[in-house]
Amino acid sequence: MRQTAQERLVAHGAQAVDSLLPHVGKAGSPLKWGAESVLRKLGDEAFPRLREIRRQGPGPLRAAALRVLVDLGGAENLAEYDRRAVERLVRIKLRDELPVRLPSDAGRWLAFPADRIDDAVAALGLCDLRPATTVMGMDATTRATDSLEFQDAQGKTRTAYRVFITPSFETWLSEVPIQHWCLLWGNAFIDQLDGFALADRLSERCGEAHLYIVDPYNSAENWYVSRAGHRVRGFGSYDEPRFQGEPLPFEAEYLEDADEDESAEYAEGVPYARTAADLLSVEPGQMPTSATQGHGWLATTHPEAPNFRFPGALAV
């Protein structure tokens, strides 16, 4: 019966838009999923009415219309005044976003020296850098669509990726040579373009770069340190051997401080990505306000696929 009801609503076309919008994004509403599903099926057919609501109302539907326009086809579907309004909202939020929080229970991310951000952008071929709050950046690269297949100017099929570069974070370790780090998130980017190769490419331009992976679903962790374009040290839960390269100084200290029960665990090195991140660069989580500088950036990997082409409404 639900399926039949959705099909009937789709058959009504744009006439159904006004009735569906009140349920969009409404947490806990039993009609939320169905309403959003029907709007996705309507697709381009819904755009004219959605744009009309943005221009003329009714007022209670304007916010939902904005969300659906971006969800269905990206910010390129918005009128210029709506784009400017969103950019203005981001600028306002950036003034008061501290402290920021980065996910620490799972994920994969790259780390590179914060003062080499221009080199990092060049090394990875990033385009269309736009200021973004951390909430927005993490939403864009870990939940929403972060890869986009498109036709370039020559008619060739290309894939572009969206990434988020965090603000600069200061490490708590005074003795390490690099004191400030930026982290880079982008699930599809790191997965499909080989995060280890990306770390090597970054370190070739930036001097040093790391890759960290925390995968609780598979009970797997990886950490990888690259300097001057080459692996220095790496660990992988299911690699053979698990450790590669010579142990780093912090690992020797861990073994020295290990008690009898821990000595076997740390005999070869440190097998935990977050521990390695904490003692090599910065560990994600609640980032101290006093150690955070600047703001984050959203970027893409192809000039013909700027951020506004990626579908999906983002939290700000």
Across the chain, which has 316 residues, the per-10-residue mean pLDDT values are: 78 78 72 78 82 85 85 81 88 93 94 98 97 96 92 93 98 91 97 97 97 96 97 96 93 76 79 95 96 97 93 85
Task: Give me the half-sphere count of Cα atoms (radius 13 Å) on the Cβ side of residue 181.
Answer: 30
pLDDT of res. 136: 95
pLDDT of res. 260: 67
CB atoms inside a 10 Å sphere around CB 36: 19
**Packed helices 2-12 and 32-42: angle between N→C axes, nearest 10 degrees:** 40
Show Cβ contacts of residue 148 under 8 Å, excluding neighbours closer than 6 positions. 159, 160, 161, 162, 305, 309, 310
Give Cα 10 to chain centroid, integer Å. 33
DSSP category for residue 79: -
pTM of the model: 0.88
pLDDT of res. 259: 67
Burial bucket for residue 43 (CB in 10 Å: 0-12, 13-18, 19+): exposed
pLDDT of res. 14: 77
Q: Which residue has the tokens 């539907």?
A: 61
Strands in the chain per DSSP E: 107-113, 127-132, 147-151, 157-165, 168-170, 180-185, 208-215, 220-227, 230-236, 243-245, 292-293, 296-300
